């Protein structure tokens, strides 16, 4: 394993492992693995290990022991009922809610916290209202490193908040918005108080790219035509693209799926940029959507995401909150798969693409469902029918049943 960290904008090498942006141009960083040694590998070599992030350890920038909760290895469900309903050839759901803390963030955190230990960080931290803090607090606990989490004022989904508190992180609710919380945690990181594990961290996408490796592995290296993901800070769509690209560089696949990003209508800077044909985006102020995991107006990896979408011949569209919630229920009630609202965007997105004529019914599609339904129980209770109140009497219940 050898690698370099480079500025994604200007290409400079960056040596200091504590940096999150280019010291010269301020651009985001990117890890480049040396692919030469990997050319000796075959898919069959990897399959001797259990499926999960660390099945692919030669592709990951680590040298020593790892901090792991056995993340990844999530199910790839064929959704035959839904594919019949949508009238498409084949459709799978990659259920990332089956990760140890219930979201794909664990793929990035096993990598990021492993790196924190490797470089001798004294503590780890992030600013987050959601799955990032839920995941980081668990991996920090496993690593033994202290963990600092800054929450902004405002709505935090109950499941996510409960997890962050539960694993023992030190949590501060700052009297400000997300940007304030992020600014503070970045300053703490620059002053050496902690190793920053927000989305801007260059090592997290390396763990997250294993999502693409697993999809290929589970499909016996048959390449799906399209992979659909919800887009918030936009690191995951970039990471998946990167994973597919590395497999192509090795010659294990001969094309890259059309990377397709879904955003909520009230929070769609990437879709607006794509509609204009731009490679950069204009931030959305005061983003709003029920899908809190993608309520992000100024995505850190937005340019990388646009690159992934254009280079793969993909697309990006929006859904309304109602469409997102309807897709969430549809997936649960036809396939038995429970996902949080942001994840359901990838399900609703396919239907809309077909209706718009932007996706072919003959495609083989994989939709990435990023987080578990229990993350946000309040939204379920608001959006589904309440239980029927009735007397404690069998005859009474029977009357309701007919």
Angstrom distance (rounded) from CA 361 to CA 241: 23
Smallest distance, Å, CB 331 to ligand PLP?
A: 14
Please give the C-alpha separations between residue 103 and each of 43, 71, 148, 153, in angstroms, as whole numbers: 26, 10, 20, 23
> What is the phi/psi pair of residue 102, to 5°?
90, 15
* Two structure tokens written together for 304: 């990388």
Selected from 69, 109, 141, 294, the binder of ligand PLP by CB under 6 A is 294
Residues whose CB is less than 8 angstroms from the CB of residue 331 and which lie 6 or more positions away in sequence, other chains included? 79, 82, 93, 337, 338, 339, 344, 347, 369
- Binders of ligand PLP in range 355-394 (CB under 6 A): 370-371
Q: Which is nearer to ligand PLP, 130 or 243 (CB)?
A: 130
Is beta strand 315-319 parallel, antiparallel or unpaired with respect to 364-369?
A: unpaired
Smallest distance, Å, CB 217 to ligand PLP?
A: 21
Does position 232 bind ligand PLP by CB under 6 A? yes
Helix, strand or coil for residue 53?
Answer: helix
Q: Which stretch binds Zn ion (CB under 5 A): 1-9, 61-69, 282-290, 340-348?
A: 1-9
Does position 103 bind ligand PLP by CB under 6 A? yes
Q: Which stretch binds Zn ion (CB under 5 A): 18-26, 180-188, 272-280, 340-348?
A: 18-26
Q: Which positions from 21 to 60 touch Zn ion by CB under 5 A, shown as an x/- string?
A: -x-xx-x---------------------------------
Smallest distance, Å, CB 112 to Zn ion?
A: 21
Residue nearest to ligand PLP (CB): 371
Position of tokens 């049943």?
Answer: 401
Does position 231 bind Zn ion by CB under 5 A? no
Please give the C-alpha separations between residue 333 and each of 10, 103, 274, 339, 369, in angstroms, as whole numbers: 48, 21, 33, 11, 15
Smallest distance, Å, CB 236 to ligand PLP?
A: 3
Angstrom distance (rounded) from CA 357 to CA 196: 42
- Contacting positions for ligand PLP (CB under 6 A): 103, 105, 130-131, 199, 230-236, 293-294, 340, 342-343, 370-371
């Amino acid at each position: 394993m050898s690698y370099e960290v480079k500025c994604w904008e200007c290409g400079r090498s960056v040596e200091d492992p504590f940096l999150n942006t280019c010291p010269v141009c301020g651009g985001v960083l990117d890890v480049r693995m040396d692919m030469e040694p990997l050319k000796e590998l075959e898919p069959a070599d990897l399959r001797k290990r259990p499926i999960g992030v660390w099945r692919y350890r030669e592709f990951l920038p680590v040298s020593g022991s790892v901090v792991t909760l056995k993340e990844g290895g999530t199910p790839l469900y064929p959704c035959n009922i839904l594919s019949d309903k949508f009238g498409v050839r084949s459709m799978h759901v990659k259920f990332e809610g089956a990760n140890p803390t219930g979201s794909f963030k664990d793929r990035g955190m096993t990598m990021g916290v492993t790196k924190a230990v490797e470089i001798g960080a004294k503590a780890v931290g992030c600013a987050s209202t959601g799955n990032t803090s839920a995941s980081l607090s668990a991996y920090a606990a496993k690593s033994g490193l202290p963990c600092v989490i800054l929450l902004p004022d405002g709505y935090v989904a109950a499941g996510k908040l409960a997890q962050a508190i539960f694993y023992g992180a030190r949590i501060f609710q700052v009297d400000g918005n997300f940007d304030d919380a992020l600014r503070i945690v970045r300053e703490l990181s620059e002053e050496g108080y902690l190793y920053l594990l927000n989305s801007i961290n260059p090592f997290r996408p390396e763990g997250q790219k294993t999502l693409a490796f697993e999809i290929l592995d589970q499909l016996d290296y048959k390449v799906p035509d399209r992979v659909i993901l919800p887009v918030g800070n936009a690191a995951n769509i970039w990471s998946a693209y990167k994973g597919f690209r590395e497999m192509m560089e090795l010659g294990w696949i001969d094309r890259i799926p059309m990377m397709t990003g879904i955003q909520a209508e009230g929070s769609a800077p990437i879709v607006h940029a794509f509609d204009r044909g731009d490679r950069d985006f204009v931030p959305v102020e005061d983003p709003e959507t029920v899908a809190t995991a993608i309520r992000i107006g100024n995505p850190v990896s937005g340019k990388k995401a646009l690159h992934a979408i254009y280079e793969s011949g993909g697309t990006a569209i929006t859904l309304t909150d109602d469409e997102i919630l309807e897709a969430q229920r549809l997936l649960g009630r036809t396939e038995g798969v429970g996902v949080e609202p942001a994840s359901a965007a990838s399900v609703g997105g396919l239907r809309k693409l077909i209706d718009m004529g932007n996706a072919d019914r003959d495609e083989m599609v994989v939709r990435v469902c990023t987080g578990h339904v229990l993350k946000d129980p309040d939204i379920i209770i608001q959006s589904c029918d309440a239980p029927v109140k009735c007397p404690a009497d069998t005859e009474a219940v029977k009357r309701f049943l007919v």
